């Protein structure tokens, strides 16, 4: 049910009780009222085709009837127990069956929490402290993850740059940073410091930047050569790029992976998993006091999120689902590129058909330093026009969903055409 009050009234109320007037996630001047299928509505009743989809989880669209039915059926039986429950166990079985590197997993509530545990798990298993990550890679809010996520200054690799206050200076001693898509840089660091490095932590599709051919395979080979663990952060790519995630799509199996977003069907849920041998660090009797990894979470594996996730995965397993998702994404990429090219605007479509966006540049976007707009104002103008014409998305990502209709695509194509025209006029 829509709350009474205009969008501006809710924005003012938010400013009084929320720092910077928001939850910290998205434009605080937008207050969404509700969503259904491929659409969302703001508090003033403005309707949009939704390509934000909750920053990824709503792959089936908002309020999918089968997911809602599963949740409504579970609600009277209990919302959370802080104990094992059949629904959570069944979801764990389904995820382990789908994802190549998994034999066991533990549930948590958010992707950032999962990534934090992945780092800690690698350290516990190897007895080493250093983590090698990539400039521009996003892995949540832990101190290590907030090193060189979006550095404003370019420093020499492998020096990390903290992106947040409150991070102790000595965290930098345990984090190495390399450019994405550069195997030579990784090789040099491993050759010199492999005995201190617990793991390489990587988004297989870094934000929207694809791995170059052979890159992930090269990381896998070097980790094997130097005895370093390979962690795939699949919070975004899991069950999106393919049913088995980036591991299936790219044909590379890591040692540890994290999952989130899609596996909860829109409810807060994430997971960390690996082989039984590595996951023994969570079992105190088997790991011993020195290697045991303590892990608790009040809502971890709660049955509401579990049944939503189970139904979502069931739907994703149906024949043709990923073909539909990819063909929709390819159509969106093509129509956007055609409109920008017709308007004479330099651009690169970057990403995968299931997750992508445009950079306003002629450069090859292969890492954090090259994947930038020639003029950031162009991106602001373009995305403002899209929103004014009924397309709701992040300024840096476009998530296709399975709920998109032909009508949605027509609205989106018109919005792309208008935004390209507006931007062309402003550039001139």
How many alpha carbons lie under 13 Å from residue 411 in its C-beta half-sphere?
Answer: 19
Q: Which of the residues 138, 215, 359, 368 is marked catalytic?
A: 138
State the catalytic residue, choosing from 130, 261, 311, 339.
261
State the catalytic residue, choosing from 50, 182, 233, 408. 233
Query: Is residue 323 among the annotated active site residues?
Result: no
Sign of CA dihedral 113, 234, 139, 198: positive
283 as an active site residue: the answer is: no
Count Cβ neighbours within 10 Å for each residue of 306-324 and write b for 16 or more, e otherwise.
bbbbbbbbebbeeeeebee
47 phi and psi angles, rounded to 5 deg: -100, 140
CB-CB contact of 421 with 414 (8 Å): no
| 64: nearest Cα among 314, 353, 289 | 314
| Residue 425: Cβ-neighbour burial (10 angstroms; 0-12, 13-18, 19+) | exposed
CA–CA separation, 75 and 212 (whole Å): 45
What six digits make up the tokens of 323?
Answer: 């073909």
| Cis, bond preceding 177 (omega within 30 deg of 0) | no
Note if 138 is an active site residue.
yes
Q: Which residue is listed with tokens 């919302």?
A: 79
Using CA atoms, how far apart are residues 118 and 129, in angstroms rounded to an integer? 13
Query: Catalytic residues, which ones?
Result: 138, 233, 261
């Amino acid at each position: 049910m829509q709350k009474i009050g205009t969008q501006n009234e809710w924005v003012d109320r938010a400013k009084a009780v929320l720092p910077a007037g928001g939850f910290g996630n998205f434009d605080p001047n937008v207050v969404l009222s509700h969503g259904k299928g491929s659409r969302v509505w703001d508090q003033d009743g403005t309707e949009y085709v939704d390509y934000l989809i909750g920053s990824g989880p709503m792959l089936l669209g908002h309020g999918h009837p089968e997911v809602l039915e599963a949740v409504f059926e579970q609600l009277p039986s209990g919302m959370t127990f802080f104990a094992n429950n059949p629904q959570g166990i069944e979801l764990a079985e389904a995820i382990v069956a789908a994802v190549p590197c998994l034999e066991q997993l533990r549930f948590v509530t958010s992707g950032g929490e999962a990534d934090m545990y992945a780092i800690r798990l690698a350290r516990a298993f190897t007895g080493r402290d250093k983590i090698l990550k990539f400039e521009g890679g996003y892995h949540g809010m832990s101190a290590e993850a907030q090193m060189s996520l979006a550095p404003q200054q370019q420093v020499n690799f492998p020096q990390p740059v903290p992106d947040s206050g409150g991070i102790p200076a000595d965290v930098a001693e345990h984090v190495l940073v390399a450019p994405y898509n550069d195997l030579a840089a990784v090789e040099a660091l491993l050759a010199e410091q492999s005995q201190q490095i617990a793991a390489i932590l990587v988004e297989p599709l870094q934000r929207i930047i694809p791995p170059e051919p052979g890159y992930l395979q090269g990381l896998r080979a070097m980790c094997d050569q130097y005895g370093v663990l390979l962690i795939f952060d699949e919070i975004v790519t899991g069950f999106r790029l393919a049913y088995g995630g980036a591991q299936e799509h790219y044909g590379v199996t890591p040692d540890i992976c994290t999952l989130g977003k899609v596996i909860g069907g829109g409810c807060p849920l994430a997971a960390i998993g690996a082989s039984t041998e590595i996951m023994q660090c969570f079992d105190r009797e088997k790991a011993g006091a020195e290697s045991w990894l303590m892990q608790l979470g009040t809502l971890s594996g709660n049955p509401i999120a579990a049944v939503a996730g189970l139904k979502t995965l069931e739907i994703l397993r149906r024949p043709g689902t990923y073909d539909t998702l990819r063909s929709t994404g390819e159509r969106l990429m093509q129509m956007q590129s055609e409109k920008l090219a017709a308007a004479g605007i330099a651009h690169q479509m970057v990403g995968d058909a299931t997750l992508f966006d445009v950079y306003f540049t002629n450069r090859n976007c292969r890492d954090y330093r090259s994947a930038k707009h020639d003029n950031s104002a162009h991106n602001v103008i373009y995305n403002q026009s899209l929103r004014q014409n009924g397309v709701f998305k992040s300024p840096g990502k476009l998530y296709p969903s399975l709920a998109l209709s032909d009508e949605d695509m027509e609205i989106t194509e018109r919005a792309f055409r208008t935004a390209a025209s507006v931007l062309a006029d402003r550039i001139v």
